[in-house]
Amino acid sequence: SELERGGYPHFMLKEIFEQPETLKNCMSGRINVEATNVTLSGIIDHKDKFIQAKRIIIVACGTSWHAGLIGKYLFEEFCRVPVEVEYASEFRYRHPVIHPEDIVIAISQSGETADSLAAIELARHAGAFVYGICNVVGSSIPRNTHSGSYTHCGHEIGVASTKAFTAQITVLTMMALAIGKEKGKISVEKYLAVIKELSHIPEKIERVLALNKSIKKLSRIFTYARNFIYLGRGYNYPIALEGALKLKEISYIHAEGYPAAEMKHGPIALIDNEMPVVAIATHNTVYEKVVSNIQEIKARNGRVIAIVTEGDKSVKSLVDHCIEIPSTEECLEPLLTSIPLQLIAYHIAVNKNRDVDMPRNLAKSVTVE
């Protein structure tokens, strides 16, 4: 009902706008007020397991799998432990090699996804330590894991996941920081800098949400595109995948997410003046590389919408449209870059009169394999 939607036309929009608040809730009691320390009860109790782990295997489906990919970047950077990210449905039927020294992390909003549940069963049988990152308290995955962390982002109603996704990334970030510190693999300076910046993410998301009007306007130009390409590198590569998935799910426009540099090995053949390309080109260690990937697209008349860092000049002069977001630590950029992509998908779907909260053929919780 109107009341439940809190004045928003759709739950999805309400949930997108809730993100500053849901991330505060997710961090509450975990990051101390001075933003100098992070503690997760699910890890503290099993510190040695995490210190000794030879490998982390992340299993998930859909949007949660995209969060898992970001987890790989985080754990490898801050904990120096190898990470594999698996679709639960593939993992469970592949005779995967699982050791008792492995930690298997299942990420699931609902905590009921059949394939993810089966994947952790398998992991437990192999003797691995199983950790859950779930939103629904008391659901099947948390009940079948050795430990875990809830995302605490509240009930998510829109079928296309938004606030659960950013909360999953936030939990993974806090885990990587806490484990990295225990293992002595992250410098004190970096640890403190990331925690401090993480505590500022909610207000920075507010600033991205303030761009909603201009994103809505921009979305009108692209409502009738038949295809879309989303590009990103590094921490923003999984965000490109997620941006494309959001658009597919609710607008039914075909979209592909790609690592920007892989473009030249195929997808660049698709570029012409009817192909909108959403490129994440924030000011980070791969910035120059992404700029040259954008040049390749412009040289073939592609139409580029770029997500850039406030104050950017080089990309701005190159592309058709720019969305400027606040700067942050590179590893936290996904928490900001995902927001404009959620809004683009939302507005295009609304323009096309789609059932945004309940897209055809999709279910919020997939309890059958």
Residues that bind ligand G6P (CB under 6 A): 61-64, 108-110, 113, 116, 159, 161, 362-366
Q: What tokens appear for 258 in the block?
A: 């790609």
Beta carbon nearer to ligand G6P, 314 or 365: 365
C-alpha span between 134 and 116 (Å, rounded):
11
Q: How far is the CB of 362 from ligand G6P (least distance, A)?
A: 5
The distance of closest approach from Cβ of residue 282 to ligand G6P in the complex, given in angstroms and rounded to an integer, is 24
The residue (of 160 and 279) whose beta carbon lies closer to ligand G6P is 160
CB of residue 110 to ligand G6P, shortest distance in Å: 3
Gyration radius of the chain over CA positions: 20
Q: Provide the CA 171 distance to its chain's centre, in angstroms.
A: 11
CB nearer ligand G6P, residue 62 or residue 232: 62
Q: How many CB atoms lie within 10 A of CB 114?
A: 17
Residue 341's CB: how many other CB atoms inside 10 A?
Answer: 27
CB 53 within 8 A of CB 101: yes
Cβ of residue 273: shortest distance to ligand G6P, in angstroms? 33
User: CB–CB of 232/337 below 8 Å?
Assistant: yes
Please, are residues 206 and 18 in contact by the beta-carbon 8 Å criterion? no
**Dist CA 242 CA 338 (whole Å):** 8
Q: How far is the CB of 256 from ligand G6P (least distance, A)?
A: 18
* Residue number, 63 or 145, with CB nearest to ligand G6P: 63
Minimum CB distance to ligand G6P smaller for 22 or for 116: 116
Nearest residue to ligand G6P, scored by beta-carbon proximity: 62
Please report how close the Cβ of residue 159 comes to ligand G6P at its closest, in angstroms: 5
Which residue lies nearer to ligand G6P by CB, 25 or 365? 365
Residue type, 107: I
Q: CA–CA separation, 42 vs 291, rounded Å? A: 41
Judged by CB, which is closer to ligand G6P: 298, or 364? 364
Q: For residue 330, what are the contacts with CB-CB under 8 A and spacing of at least 6?
A: 234, 235, 284, 285
Q: Give the count of beta carbons closer than 10 Å to the beta carbon of residue 260.
A: 28
Q: Could you tell me the smallest distance in angstroms from the CB atom of residue 158 to ligand G6P?
A: 9
